[in-house]
Structure 1
């Protein structure tokens, strides 16, 4: 019974770690897109004025 519990906990830990990496990567991706878009809009404002 202890072996099954350990296997279950290891599986849950790896799943949680994987989700954390995926969510963190998504946040980093969206932040980078927003930063790039904001930079592009600022450049367009300066050139258009």
Structure 2
């Protein structure tokens, strides 16, 4: 494969991986936030 054809493929792959990693971080952040909210609600209900 020529270098001129390889660069756009690598750029597209890097962009795709960036999107996947970003979405993973957002998912983990939101799930952690939801868990904290549930724990707070349980703690308030058990008082």
TM-score, normalised to structure 2, is: 0.91
Q: Of residues 37, 40, 43 in structure 2, which corresponds to 1:39? A: 37
Q: Which residue of 1 aligns with 2:13?
A: 15
Total equivalences in the alignment: 46
Q: Distance in 2 between matches of 1:27 and 1:6?
A: 33
User: Structure 2: 5+ residue runs without aligned partners?
Assistant: none
Runs of 4+ in 1 over 3 A off after TM superposition: none
User: Structure 1: 5+ residue runs without aligned partners?
Assistant: none
